[in-house]
Structure 1
Amino acid sequence: MRRVLSCFAVAVAVVSPFAQAQKLQPGLWQVDSSNMQVGGQKLPDTDVMLDQLQALAPEQRQMLDQALKNQGVNLHGKGVQVCLTPAQAQSEQIPMRDAKSGCTQQVTERSAQAWKFHFSCPQAQGNGVVKFISDREFNATIVGSFTANGTQQSGSTDTHGVWQGQDCGTVQPRQG
C-alpha cells in the first residue's frame, strides 16, 4: 500500500501542473490518470487506487486529504480536482504546483495542439507532452525516473483533464 501511495503522489505531483500550460479555462478541473507503470509493472488506475485509500484508517485518510488540500488538490471521483485561477489559466508558463517542492519545469516545444516539457524535482525527473483537445480538455503522457525508498525507478502515466466549470467550490487554487 505504501508503494502505491508513493506512486500515486508522484503521479499527482507531476501531472497536475501541466494542465495549466495552455490557455485553458479557469476554474475547476477533473484530472484522471491511467496506464501508470513503475519499473515496467502496471499499477492500478487512479480510480482503483482511490478505492484502496478508503481502507486507510480514518486519521491517515484525513492526513492525506489535508496534505493534498494544502497543495490545492482534492481527491474526487476517479482522480483529483484542481482549481485554476484566471492568471494561472492565461499563463505562458507551467505554474509550480508547490513553490516549496524544489521542482522546476520547462516547456521545451510549443504548438497550438501540444506542449512538450521537462521537469526536475529533488527525487524525480522526466519529460512529457500535453495534447490540447480544446480549452476545456487535454491529454498528457509523462515518462520519468524517481527515487522511492532509496531505489531509483522509472515510471510513466497518461492523464486526462476535463474542465468542470468556473466555480471551484471548496477546492482552493494551487499556490506556486
Structure 2
Amino acid sequence: MTHHIQARVVRTACWVLLGLSAAAAAQTRLQPGLWEQTQQMKSGSGQMEAQMAQAQARLAALPPEQRKMVEQMMAQQGVGMGSAPASVRLCLSKEQTEGGDVPRADGRCTHQVSQRSGNTLHYSFQCNGNPPSSGEGDYTVNSPTSYSTQMTMKTVVKGQPETIQMTQQGRFVSSDCGALKPIQLPR
C-alpha cells in the first residue's frame, strides 16, 4: 500500500508540474523538453522517508538487467531516472508547456487553483482512491528553466492518518528528450 501512496505522490507532483504550468503560462512558460524534478518528502511518522530510502537502496542494488527493466517500465509512463537519488526526469511537449494538456493526478482526483500571485499559484486537490488523500500547495514558475513547489498531503498509511510535506525543484535539462516520450497522465 505504501508503494501506492508513493506512486500517488509522484503522480500528484507530475500534475502540479503539467497542470499548473498551463495555468501559470500567461506569466512565464516553461521550456519544452527534458526536465529533472527533485523532491524531498517528510511525513509525521517518518515511515515514508524510511520506505523511500529502502526503495532507493533496493533499486541501486539491482543487477543491471533488472534495473534496465525497471527503467523501461518507467519510460513507458514517460518518466526516467534522474541524476540524484530522489529525482526523476520528465519530457514535456510544447503543447503541455503551453497548456494544451492539463491532466489530473489520476482519474479519481479533483483539483482547483484558488489563488494566483504573479508566477505563484495556490492549489488544492482531493483524491477518492484507496487510500483517499487531499492537500494543498504552492507552485512557482521561477523562470522558463526552473520551477518549485511545496505541498501538504493528508492520507492514510498502514491504517493511520499521515500528513506528508513535500517540496520539489524542477530544472530544465535539454530541449532534446532523447528516447523519453512526453509524460502521459490520465485526462
Number of the residue aligned with 2:43: 38
Match in the other structure for 2:9: 11
Q: Check if 1:128 corresponds to 2:133.
A: no
What's the counterpart of residue 116 of structure 2?
Answer: 110
In percent, how many aligned pairs have the same letter?
A: 27
1:83 aligns with 2:91: yes
**Rg larger in 1 or in 2?**
2
Give me the whole-angstrom Cα distance separating, in 2, the residues matched to 1:24 and 1:90.
8
1:71 — aligned with what? 77
**What's the CA shift for 1:31?**
0.1
120-129 vs 53-62, which moves further:
53-62
How far is the alpha carbon of 1:7 from its aligned partner?
5.2
CA displacement at 1:128 relative to structure 2: 0.9
Residue 116 of structure 1 aligns to which amino acid in structure 2? H
* Residue identity opposite 1:37 in structure 2: K
Is 1:26 the counterpart of 2:32 in the alignment?
Answer: yes
Alignment match, 2:180: 171
Q: CA offset at residue 119 of structure 1?
A: 1.7
1:142 CA displacement: 0.7
Return the TM-score normalized by structure 2. Answer: 0.74
Which whole-Å CA distance do the structure 2 matches of 1:49 and 1:59 have between them? 17
Q: Please report how far the alpha carbon of residue 132 of structure 1 lies from its aligned counterpart in structure 2 after TM superposition.
A: 1.9
Contact 1:16 1:31 in 2 (8 A): no
Normalising by structure 1, report the TM-score: 0.78
Deviation beyond 6 Å, 4+ runs, structure 1: 57-60
Does structure 1 conserve the Cα–Cα contact (< 8 Å) formed by 2:32 and 2:94? yes
Secondary structure at the residue paired with 1:172?
Answer: coil
User: Conserved in 1, the CA contact under 8 Å of 2:124 and 2:136?
Assistant: yes
For the aligned residue pairs, the C-alpha RMSD in angstroms reads: 3.1
Letter aligned with residue 178 of structure 2 = G
Task: Name 1:161's counterpart in structure 2.
Answer: 170
Q: Could you tell me how far apart the structure 2 residues matched to 1:106 and 1:165 are?
A: 30
Letter in 2 for 1:91: G
Task: Quote the offset at 1:93 in angstroms.
Answer: 7.6
Following superposition, the deviation at residue 94 of structure 1 comes to 4.4
* Structure 2 Cα separation of the partners of residues 63 and 103 of structure 1: 29
- Alignment length (residue pairs): 171
* Structure 2, unpaired ranges of 5+: none
